[in-house]
A and B are shown apart, each in its own frame.
Chain A
């Protein structure tokens, strides 16, 4: 093929360009399919492998010792919920108050730095949190504990909750604040009673997003909560968690434990999906009302 004139493309060249464009379009479609395919593959195998292993025992019994089949992960399910509750106690107040500072008090320059710091903190690998909490809460108190696990997860929540809180507080119209201040209401009351109340749903959404993010975290729990094959009756003792149990069972050599790991993964995924669906419902309401 002779070189086409740069000014008056030949019909052949035009066809070639169109063909190339169509080809690229097809490639882009294939790429998009390739990106969502893993999601469906993971969910498919979770359902296939996990569903058949799920039974009532899984939700009511403790793990059986090696070699015995049966048993369940009741303690790990409860443990995960306890850890999430403790994480919320640590992470939610810190995150919300930090967000209030950013939205209501901070100076532009200072806020830029704080946001930057929050993004950096958000990027700290989760395994590093585990090591740090090990030094801060496990070594001094001479033992792995549920507290340490909860704090590790809670601190991971702080930057997430802080950023979302700031974002929703900024959306509250300035006139609300001015109206309340003009009535002589103290600033802190304006913030707590007017601003935060107005944005409550958004803040709750942010908290649930953060919870969904940390619910499946394993690495920060490895050297803090440690895991436990029995019920935890004392938060100063190690506690079981679903992700830890899944990890331990997945790398074990026993078929029965593999089965349980799939069942645990299905339950964990269902929990996280439920949290995400809650977020969707909450934010849909918000969109409608505004």
Chain B
């Protein structure tokens, strides 16, 4: 027994466990900040809006009065503006994004794919404020003088396209947001389409389907749920867009049927009026708008995550 060297002669003395445990706990703490931050964000917004919650109650959500002079505040025009501008963005961006993803996964020559993907990634890197600048000086004049005039001329019988054209408008905001959420919708759709097994496509081709029929029957119907998730994720981004929207939407708290009319969103009213909120109730109301915005975006994001997760995990039969 004594001939066997004790461990201490070949191994460094077993050091104390303290550094190891300490490191583990520091790392755990850092990971836990993620959860703590969510709680902090929610709690602070709630704390900041307590006065207005107490003062206006739930009526805050559907009152359309926003009058800092009278100290009366209601969220409806901003909720309306946020929803409408995001919806316009989705109507434009989802078909375009999915079509581009289809092009990239199914049609484009291999040499073209990487450059196009890079261009889309670069589009995602352009800051909101630069889109806003471009929107004010390039996009809006063009929309005002060409697209909007044409829309009014051809679709003017719809209430959506009636009324005076200012340039700054709900529709302009929707278009800018659409450009900004295109990259995420395209790249997530592309991931989803790439996960469609080739066997699906081959089976459809073997039955004599044309390329479009293959896309329709084998690819799109298979990927439907995931593509829906991609759209919802895009919606989550669209709701919170601030700077570019603030610069092109016209910032007027009104509810109008016309898409040519200016509007206002939750994020942009906060950006514009926060620094000049004179009374406590005013500031509290802005915080409550922030709370509404946070609540809606978190719910939408959670829905998108769940949808995308069910697509990748429990989708139809996976063929490896």
Is residue B243 within 8 Å, beta carbon to beta carbon, of the partner chain? Answer: yes
B179 CB to closest chain A CB (Å) equals: 5
A interface footprint on B248-259 (CB within 8 Å = 1, 0 otherwise) = 000000000000
| In contact, B122 and A273 (Cβ under 8 angstroms) | yes
Counting chain B residues whose Cβ lies within 8 A of the other chain, the interface size class is 35 or more
| In contact, B271 and A39 (Cβ under 8 angstroms) | no
Neighbouring B residues of A194 by C-beta, 8 Å: none
Interface centre among B47, B100, B130 (most CB of A within 10 A): B130
Interface centre among A42, A49, A117, A128 (most CB of B within 10 A): A128
| In contact, B15 and A35 (Cβ under 8 angstroms) | no
Q: Which of A3-23 contact B (CB under 8 A)?
A: 17-18, 20-21
A174 CB to closest chain B CB (Å) equals: 18
Neighbouring A residues of B186 by C-beta, 8 Å: 35
Q: Which of B92-123 contact A (CB under 8 A)?
A: 95-97, 99-100, 102-104, 107-108, 116, 119-123
B99 is contacted by which of A27, A265, A268, A269 (Cβ under 8 Å)? A27
| In contact, A218 and B243 (Cβ under 8 angstroms) | yes
B288 CB to closest chain A CB (Å) equals: 11
| In contact, A28 and B130 (Cβ under 8 angstroms) | no
B48 CB to closest chain A CB (Å) equals: 5
| In contact, B210 and A31 (Cβ under 8 angstroms) | no
| In contact, B212 and A250 (Cβ under 8 angstroms) | no
Neighbouring A residues of B297 by C-beta, 8 Å: 123-125
| In contact, B27 and A21 (Cβ under 8 angstroms) | no
Is residue B134 within 8 Å, beta carbon to beta carbon, of the partner chain? Answer: yes
Is residue A32 within 8 Å, beta carbon to beta carbon, of the partner chain? Answer: yes
A276 is contacted by which of B28, B120, B125, B270 (Cβ under 8 Å)? B125
Is residue A72 within 8 Å, beta carbon to beta carbon, of the partner chain? Answer: no
Counting chain A residues whose Cβ lies within 8 A of the other chain, the interface size class is 35 or more
Is residue A170 within 8 Å, beta carbon to beta carbon, of the partner chain? Answer: no
Neighbouring B residues of A94 by C-beta, 8 Å: 30, 33
Is residue A36 within 8 Å, beta carbon to beta carbon, of the partner chain? Answer: yes
| In contact, B23 and A188 (Cβ under 8 angstroms) | yes
Main secondary structure of the interface of A (DSSP, over half): helix
A interface footprint on B231-256 (CB within 8 Å = 1, 0 otherwise) = 00000110111110001000000000
Is residue A247 within 8 Å, beta carbon to beta carbon, of the partner chain? Answer: yes
Measured CB to CB, the nearest residue on chain B to A215 is: B127
A25 CB to closest chain B CB (Å) equals: 6
| In contact, B104 and A32 (Cβ under 8 angstroms) | yes
| In contact, B132 and A247 (Cβ under 8 angstroms) | yes
Neighbouring A residues of B300 by C-beta, 8 Å: 123
A45 is contacted by which of B30, B138, B237, B290 (Cβ under 8 Å)? B138
23 contacts between A and B (CB under 8 A): A21-B210, A28-B107, A31-B103, A32-B99, A35-B182, A39-B119, A39-B122, A97-B29, A97-B30, A104-B27, A127-B290, A130-B274, A131-B44, A135-B47, A191-B23, A213-B125, A216-B130, A219-B242, A222-B275, A246-B130, A261-B133, A262-B133, A276-B125
A residues contacting B by CB (< 8 A) are: 17-18, 20-21, 24-25, 27-29, 31-32, 34-36, 38-39, 41-42, 45-46, 49, 93-98, 100-102, 104-106, 114, 116-121, 123-132, 134-136, 155, 158-159, 162, 184, 186-188, 191-192, 212-213, 215-219, 222-223, 226, 243, 246-247, 250-251, 258, 261-262, 265, 268-269, 272-273, 276
The 8 closest A-B pairs by CB, nearest first: A216-B127, A125-B240, A97-B30, A31-B99, A188-B23, A123-B301, A21-B210, A101-B27
A sample of 18 more A-B contacts (CB under 8 A), given A25-B107, A127-B290, A247-B129, is: A20-B210, A28-B99, A28-B103, A31-B100, A32-B103, A35-B182, A38-B179, A39-B119, A96-B30, A98-B31, A114-B34, A119-B301, A130-B274, A188-B20, A218-B128, A226-B275, A265-B130, A276-B122
